[in-house]
Structure 1
């Protein structure tokens, strides 16, 4: 079933993507498979993964160090957008997909491949994110998804791989499906498929159980410049290091756990567990700083934009015209979102408890109830009359 001669395959080192290598060659007639593993700060040693791909029959095995781009070009813009899908999920996994798609397309163009491939099944969101992003970046490339079509069970997939020298997992695999990068972890499947089951503590790795968190709060000052995180406790940090440090601090206090029923793009509900300590804290701090520096109308209007932005990213439309338009709007709103937010981490809560900015719109002489009050109270009566006039007229007509 020849569909392409040379293919660049998104490779994780797992059973499915490993089996994709011989499957593409044996069943679909692909002559050459080049694998690409993306280092997104997940902490894994990618050397063994690189060798595993070659052992499975890959002509070449690439590793792309994309951690810096992941944080600067994908995570930080999402923080500026306060991106929370369904007002809860900070898109820690979803944000990686357009970047991986970009890496695949770049590799395909560099090696003159006529197709790219991934190991996604037909039930998840990632297949949509990869397919649409790849098509947006290079419409001439074919996109192959063997695991979506081969119809093999887990056991059959393992057996198929063994026929071509791919060793089966040496130990009983975890019942969970886990995806990890620098922004956090997503955990699903196994006992979590019953939404009544409380997640066991074993599913968490980045966040401490509340019972084991410190009994004293910890305060961290997060500095922003034009909506981008730049400093912790007054110390300027590179984006990757800032996220690493904040992950440790917030995670130590149990911040960043999310347990939710999520509406997938393909139409099914899924029970998802997420850990995203730094990302949750940064969005909370950024949103708080916006409340100090944006006018009321911009702040209120931006909330709707944020929801649209989150849906676009979740639904795989990072490289879409609407996303570009929203980027322009959000970028304009961030010009004066500069300042410092003091966050209090305690028993799973990341709470803004202080904020300051040279662009603050908070006027103490107008807000105070003390003797320094400069607000013209007499002006309120006329304002209220005009403001309430439509309601007054409506009420009068209702009684006629």
Structure 2
């Protein structure tokens, strides 16, 4: 890419070491104006220091946007309608945030007349793919700058040295230390990679976890909650209606206090390598269990089974960065059609890391008929004799094959 062709770039900016160095590097290497964009998606950190650091670097256009409600309502909840789990365990907390951030980058580029966008994702990870696939899906002509694929500052020591040479302030934690892990947080989860986790045999340090108590240290008495659903989305906790972001935040609080949501996995990155990561997703863990419980009551058998067959493909699309692809949108339309009847309440007990369904009901959409399912007299609601022909017809091919073998 010809550096001189870039006059203005929108940078996804956190104010941390990496993006602070990238900001200065763009100004030097590309000689361009930089617009910074910082997204508030519930990471739980004060974002105004990012504004001050951008101003100190000479940035004139600074965006700090609260995207919490949009994140949960338009990205997290649609994904949970699909019961999406990547490789059977990962609730996709980082994956689902990237298309929203990239979408806003493209919008700001249009608003400010920028030629390009830039991000701080490394050339080894999934996030570069997620950011850029989204960007190209929304603006096929956008130019993208990925410094980690261009520069030689490929270690923390080199980044620190660059920052020192250029007078870039590097914020430390309040106790004077910095977490050794690579961490990413939003309203759905917090992730940890690197440091001791690079050895998949080593157990994570107990001090690593931020949101959840250890299950063995959780209360000795269960916490019981009820979650209300409308059209597949959670809308209330214990009868109290909450906005999507507030509901997820409250489930994070309750789940974290009960030791719920810790996961330690080795996953297959889209770029080809295996990666070990640890995740805390307390609210999402509760929601997945509750959503499947209300679906068990309200969804037709074959619709539910087809959803389960489609889910791994849907989860892979999210993980790999294809949120704005036609195939994900096609699957979402089919999934959302099934959710029209997913209405009702689920009661759960939360106990020492476990989410236990203890009740579910739907006044308008339950397909459970006690008169048919009962082990007592059913007053003719079901003719058990019908099962004879049903079984014989389904056994026909098995009987033919057995005779041939015989």
**What TM bracket, shorter-length normalisation?**
over 0.9
Contact 1:84 1:91 (C-alpha < 8 Å) held by counterparts: yes
Partner residue, 1:312 = 317
SS in 1 for 2:345: strand
Partner residue, 2:301 = 296
Contact 1:344 1:352 (C-alpha < 8 Å) held by counterparts: yes
Mapped to 2, the partners of 1:172 and 1:338 lie a distance apart of 48
SS in 2 for 1:2: helix
> For residues 234-271 of structure 1, what are the alpha-carbon distances to aligned partners after superposition, in whole Å with 9 as ceiling and x for unaligned?
12111111111111111111011111111111111111
SS in 2 for 1:344: strand
> How far did 1:371 drift?
2.5
Greater shift in the superposed pair: 350-359 or 163-172: 163-172
Partner residue, 2:397 = 390
Contact 2:163 2:170 (C-alpha < 8 Å) held by counterparts: yes
> How far did 1:3 drift?
4.4
Partner residue, 1:342 = 347
Mapped to 2, the partners of 1:127 and 1:239 lie a distance apart of 28
Contact 1:20 1:147 (C-alpha < 8 Å) held by counterparts: no
Partner residue, 2:371 = 365
Partner residue, 2:28 = 26
SS in 2 for 1:156: helix
SS in 2 for 1:133: helix
> For residues 111-147 of structure 1, what are the alpha-carbon distances to aligned partners after superposition, in whole Å with 9 as ceiling and x for unaligned?
0001000011101110000011001011111010012
Q: Does 1:201 align with 2:201?
A: no
Mapped to 2, the partners of 1:197 and 1:155 lie a distance apart of 25
Contact 1:16 1:147 (C-alpha < 8 Å) held by counterparts: no
Residues 213-292 of structure 1: pairs in structure 2 closer than 5 A? 213-292=218-297
Mapped to 2, the partners of 1:296 and 1:371 lie a distance apart of 25
Gap runs ≥5 in structure 1: none
Mapped to 1, the partners of 2:95 and 2:206 lie a distance apart of 24
TM-score (norm 2): 0.95
CA RMSD of aligned residues (A): 1.3
Partner residue, 1:165 = 167
Mapped to 2, the partners of 1:369 and 1:6 lie a distance apart of 72
SS in 1 for 2:375: coil
SS in 1 for 2:210: coil
Partner residue, 1:60 = 61
SS in 1 for 2:213: coil
Gap runs ≥5 in structure 2: none
Partner residue, 2:134 = 133
> For residues 92-125 of structure 1, what are the alpha-carbon distances to aligned partners after superposition, in whole Å with 9 as ceiling and x for unaligned?
1111100000110010000000100001110111
Instruction: Report how many aligned residue pairs link the two structures.
Output: 398
Contact 2:236 2:242 (C-alpha < 8 Å) held by counterparts: yes
Contact 1:6 1:33 (C-alpha < 8 Å) held by counterparts: yes
Contact 1:22 1:57 (C-alpha < 8 Å) held by counterparts: no
TM-score (norm 1): 0.97
> For residues 9-29 of structure 1, what are the alpha-carbon distances to aligned partners after superposition, in whole Å with 9 as ceiling and x for unaligned?
000111111111111121123
> For residues 70-99 of structure 1, what are the alpha-carbon distances to aligned partners after superposition, in whole Å with 9 as ceiling and x for unaligned?
010001101101011111111111111000
Contact 1:227 1:286 (C-alpha < 8 Å) held by counterparts: yes
> How far did 1:320 drift?
0.3
Mapped to 2, the partners of 1:208 and 1:340 lie a distance apart of 27
Partner residue, 1:378 = 385
Partner residue, 2:77 = 76
> How far did 1:169 drift?
4.7
Greater shift in the superposed pair: 115-124 or 51-60: 51-60
Q: Does 1:183 align with 2:188?
A: yes
> For residues 161-204 of structure 1, what are the alpha-carbon distances to aligned partners after superposition, in whole Å with 9 as ceiling and x for unaligned?
22222024554432101111111100111111111111111111
Mapped to 1, the partners of 2:370 and 2:58 lie a distance apart of 68
Mapped to 1, the partners of 2:111 and 2:367 lie a distance apart of 50
Mapped to 2, the partners of 1:211 and 1:366 lie a distance apart of 42
